[in-house]
Amino acid sequence: QLDKAALLSEVVDHVKKLKRNAVEISKGYTIPSDTDEVRVEVQGDAMSTGSFMVKACLCCEDRPWILADLRRTLHSLHLQTIRAEISTLGGRIKNVFVMASEKNSSNVGRHLFVASVHQALKSILERIDSQSGLSAEGHIC
């Protein structure tokens, strides 16, 4: 027979496991989370032309100007959008883009480029934070 503390511990562990499972399952879907997120990564290997694919994710509070800012930001980086998934839920928005760079680049150049895309998207998050007047507890990975 379990005492109350042991039972509570088991319940807490089970809830944590369910939450991890839910997070893992939702990775394949474009569902906005309750934390701010910027993620940028190179997709696959460089193409024969030397260009490469980048997958970028921005999850944050929804604002009327976000899509226009994203378009301007990505256009200024000379990225060609291959695929875009955008969803909103409860005042949050998640944007996932797969883009091709138009530049030939070395491995080091690709990583610098990814860092530039990350910083550009992070600046959009910072604009949201500054306009909300609150210090958002964002998760930036």
Q: In a 10 Å sphere around its CB, with 0-12 CB exposed, 13-18 middle and 19+ buried, how is residue 121 labelled?
A: buried
pLDDT, position 136: 42
Domain ranges of the chain: 1-29, 37-132
Q: What pTM, to 2 d.p., does this model score?
A: 0.68
The pLDDT tens digits for 78-118 are 888 889 999 999 999 999 999 887 666 677 778 888 899 99
CATH topology of domain 37-132: Alpha-Beta Plaits (3.30.70)
pLDDT tens profile 21-60: 877 766 666 788 888 999 999 886 665 556 788 899 999 9
- What is the tens place of the pLDDT at every residue in 52-73? 888 999 999 999 999 999 889 8
